[in-house]
Structure 1
């Protein structure tokens, strides 16, 4: 790879080369410790004499910007710190738009590795220790062979036929979703599925109804497209259907495991929601983010499986059952918007990485996914039982658990006055990551409480970490 140097004309060649290399080092474009080309190679690339290049290298070495290692090569000095880039003098024309994005709250954004606690209760994190790496490695090698045998062309935006077929079989069997492979668009996580739906249905001023409390990334995404957000409260049976206003274009719900409170939408409420959407001409987005993990009672139908009018867009993800890093989701789309979603997908990123698609298809088809879900289910069940036991005994003085039968997070509400922000701050000092409930409310007074994800924390760490939380609560009461 050639180093970017531009030589103009044939005057002061050494001066041109010296100034450009010096500027590149100080700007950080040539990073500290990076190797630069040998003088002979750079001279050939630039069409100048090797002596000229050697003279410049020697001068930069004298100034301690370069350093040579005998038998190895020439490197940018590790002692050079890049200069800060000054801001533009004029005001950015789009400054108001940028400001709105900068001010958006992201309560579910996972901390960087340096900011994570040893005992993390963040929602959405899955257990990596149980991931079957050997099985996954076999699937990745299969995917590499498929990519090697391809013609080097872009794939279809809807996704690999192999993966779409595997998804259709999986969700038909496990969730009662009525679909065939051609109904599915593969996406980079569930969030892109929501983004594509918003792109093809939302325009400035249109009404989007969401649950209150609800999933902030969905609400913020719809608002960023110019939607008028109507936060509809939930009760023990789910979203209060009669409060969904006329003119609503999209209704976003999490019926199997309401996010963040955790209840399941009753069958009567599901039917009422379908009736209401049909009446007002709305599309329902069913975000079925973690319903593979169910611990009590009989399974419930997916909302899409009950839909007789083709008005439910079923959104799923592999981030919760496999790994968040894979970033692979999908949407089973109503026929009226299916092609539009494929067009939007094509324009935004063309298609999801084909190697990941092949690997996950193989993972599903060979039975690894079903086995992994069973193993995680048993482990999450034990973690859930530990949490329920603690919040029904020594932590019951401060919190009560909202009953839930699915997923891998619990929500606890304060039974008496607790300074939740102070509790979270003190817990972080002893390496326990707790997260408040208030960031999930949009237009109503938040209920004080905590959302406790138990996907990332090890089972054996739960009692010890909750002992620390109990001790903090006792000290705060003293």
Structure 2
């Protein structure tokens, strides 16, 4: 391995080499059992004499940090945990030093979706698919085929918009599954939906522009546009989604019309039409987030806004994070032709393009029909969990919480029954103590008065749902306003 040791300045070079190697052992950069370079090799690398390195090695060996094996070389002999208690002072990590500071807007930026980890037996977290449903065998075959193919036989960067085969596959899939009108030329592949929102914000907004977002809504989008210098205005939602009649004059509106996040309402056709008319009047752009449209249980969904758009004002955003795995970091934008060149440039300047092997593998999954088959299998599982969690919550929490009707997605919202006081955050904390992870609705809202809980069913097995809801109901009973939580 290559090892760098600072030997600049005056003084004994043997001492500098010795201390540099010792500190690397103590702070874990050199791990137990790792082989060090030969003395001649390290001497050439550092620009010192071989005897300097040999003497430092001998001293470290005598003190127990290294061990020499005849015919094999020199190895680290002291484990990190032993070294840390030896009395020697390890190097100070960079995070512990005072140094450069970020711009004020980035200091202490909280993650409203993050909760402190606890031992969790019943995970009702929102937004995560079931890892066990991931089509691992089909994915391995697709990755293996991508590695054998031409994807890695070039030393050049590729199209920032993404692999043409994947873009074509996305356009075809969306056309069949969601009636989205698109060709490969309209698609830009992104690192998940969040990067799609970032590219849109940077290509559409200037500091001070007004952006309208749903309230309650998806906090990372609101935070992103604020960090880009926009004036973000929360707009209330009701049982049917965004209140279009309350929209201000704005450059951009972010909306989840097919399954409002987090409440689950569906924007009716008359509001969709009114939203498109609003955009035309205000020369605005509509960002349509269709984040979990594949999981619809029951009646066919309304056509997306993108399909109804005749003026080129709707940008459609989707992701494979809910259907495959978030770790793949695959999302996409379907944009009007007038926006695609700017989005391609923004993608190029951000990270140039997504991983080629992952793109190629995903394209093969789409082309072969394996992705559609996977979605059908997963939909059946989630539909069962959706019904089960609604039934259990309706029985065990009746009189306190009511299930908000929803026919899609990977979570359900529960709102307090009219007139019943409810402290969502206290209930969430009490449930966590009992080993149940839920999320409090106020974390997703800017305005006040929003109480309730979100129960996801992507990460919990069907057989665990009844016990999880029962423990949640007990936590609700322990946290009535005015009563202690323990």
Q: Which residue of 1 aligns with 2:337?
A: 335
Q: What's the offset of the Cα at 1:131?
A: 1.5
Q: Which residue of 1 aligns with 2:174?
A: 171
Q: Which residue of 1 aligns with 2:245?
A: 242
From 399, 405, 427, give the equivalent of 2:431: 427
Q: Which residue of 1 aligns with 2:78?
A: 77
CA contact (8 A) 2:35 2:73 kept: no
Q: Does 1:280 align with 2:288?
A: no
Q: What's the offset of the Cα at 1:129?
A: 1.0
Q: Which residue of 2 aligns with 1:209?
A: 212
Q: Which residue of 2 aligns with 1:105?
A: 110
Q: Which residue of 1 aligns with 2:87?
A: none
Q: Does 1:472 align with 2:475?
A: yes
Q: Does 1:37 align with 2:42?
A: no
Number of paired residues?
470
- What does 1:317-332 align with in structure 2 at a 5 Å threshold? 317-332=319-334
Q: Which residue of 2 aligns with 1:440?
A: 444
Structure 1 Cα separation of the partners of residues 77 and 442 of structure 2: 49
- What does 1:384-423 align with in structure 2 at a 5 Å threshold? 384-415=386-417, 416-423=420-427
Structure 2 Cα separation of the partners of residues 467 and 429 of structure 1: 14
Q: Which sections of structure 1, spanning at least 5 residues, go unmatched?
A: none
CA contact (8 A) 2:35 2:75 kept: yes
Q: Which residue of 2 aligns with 1:4?
A: 4
CA contact (8 A) 1:37 1:74 kept: no
Q: What's the offset of the Cα at 1:337?
A: 1.6
CA contact (8 A) 2:192 2:332 kept: yes
Structure 1 Cα separation of the partners of residues 19 and 215 of structure 2: 59
Q: Which residue of 2 aligns with 1:297?
A: 299
Q: Which residue of 2 aligns with 1:159?
A: 162
Q: TM-score, normalised by structure 1?
A: 0.92
- What does 1:191-206 align with in structure 2 at a 5 Å threshold? 191-206=194-209
- Between 1:276-285 and 1:392-401, the stretch displaced more is 392-401
Q: TM-score, normalised by structure 2?
A: 0.90
Q: Which residue of 1 aligns with 2:138?
A: 135
CA contact (8 A) 2:34 2:76 kept: yes
Structure 2 Cα separation of the partners of residues 286 and 39 of structure 1: 61
Secondary structure at the counterpart of residue 412 of structure 1: strand
CA contact (8 A) 2:321 2:328 kept: yes
Deviations 1:282-323 (A, max 9, x none): 010000000111112232101101100110000000000111
Structure 2 Cα separation of the partners of residues 153 and 252 of structure 1: 36
Q: Which sections of structure 2, spanning at least 5 residues, go unmatched?
A: 85-89
Query: Judging changes above 3 Å, is the alpha-carbon distance between structure 1 residues 30 and 419 closer, same or farther for their aligned structure 2 residues?
Result: same
Query: Judging changes above 3 Å, is the alpha-carbon distance between structure 1 residues 76 and 302 closer, same or farther for their aligned structure 2 residues?
Result: farther
Query: Judging changes above 3 Å, is the alpha-carbon distance between structure 1 residues 420 and 31 closer, same or farther for their aligned structure 2 residues?
Result: same
CA contact (8 A) 1:28 1:83 kept: no
Q: What's the offset of the Cα at 1:6?
A: 5.4
Q: Which residue of 2 aligns with 1:364?
A: 366
Q: Which residue of 2 aligns with 1:123?
A: 126
- Between 1:17-26 and 1:320-329, the stretch displaced more is 17-26
Secondary structure at the counterpart of residue 294 of structure 1: coil
Deviations 1:78-118 (A, max 9, x none): 1223343475567x5x55x25x334333223477xx64622
Q: What's the offset of the Cα at 1:473?
A: 2.9
- What does 1:446-461 align with in structure 2 at a 5 Å threshold? 446-461=449-464
CA contact (8 A) 2:194 2:221 kept: yes
From 216, 228, 233, give the equivalent of 1:230: 233
Secondary structure at the counterpart of residue 132 of structure 2: coil
Secondary structure at the counterpart of residue 80 of structure 1: helix
**Root mean square deviation, CA, Å:** 2.4
Q: What's the offset of the Cα at 1:26?
A: 4.9
Q: Which residue of 1 aligns with 2:52?
A: 52
CA contact (8 A) 1:190 1:329 kept: yes
Q: What's the offset of the Cα at 1:55?
A: 1.6
CA contact (8 A) 1:156 1:351 kept: yes
Deviations 1:325-381 (A, max 9, x none): 111000001222211111010001000111110010001110111111111111111
CA contact (8 A) 2:125 2:459 kept: yes
Secondary structure at the counterpart of residue 149 of structure 2: helix
Query: Judging changes above 3 Å, is the alpha-carbon distance between structure 1 residues 435 and 101 closer, same or farther for their aligned structure 2 residues?
Result: same
